[in-house]
Amino acid sequence: MARQKYPEQYQRFQKRFRPLYNALQKVGKVARELGPIDQKTSHLIQLAAAAAIRSEGAVHSHTRRALEAGATEEEIYHAVLLLTSTIGFPTVSAALSWVDDIIQSEK
């Protein structure tokens, strides 16, 4: 069975609240364009933030986006592992399992 690129809830949000969705997309684009950080690095940073707040969906999304931007599996895992002393092993372990969800589905 083919895996959906975006979760159903995300797709429903897109359709139901199109103006808000479009505005959020613009905010992200503008924020990325404000500085010198490349797209791959920005997704690794966002992945780390998603792990810190225990957002499974955002970890999935930024893992996928980081891969699309050219990040290697090793870079993605390292971005999460670097958080161990900051957010703790249990949270890092959970985030790694969410990263695995995406990496394993891509294989």
The single-letter code of the amino acid at 33 is E
**pTM higher than the cut 0.75:** yes
Nearest to 61 by CA among 92, 15, 49, 72: 49
Q: At 58, list the tokens.
A: 């955002």
Mind listing the pLDDT tens digit for each residue in 13-34?
999 999 999 999 899 889 989 9
Averaged pLDDT of the chain: 92
pLDDT category of residue 52 using cuts at 50, 70 and 90: very high
HEC secondary structure over the chain? CCCCCCCHHHHHHHHHCHHHHHHHHHHHHHHHHCCCCCHHHHHHHHHHHHHHCCCHHHHHHHHHHHHHCCCCHHHHHHHHHCCHHHHCHHHHHHHHHHHHHHHHHHC
What the chain holds in terms of domains, given with CATH numbers, is 38-107 (1.20.1290.10)
Backbone φ and ψ for 4, nearest 5 degrees, come out as -70, 145
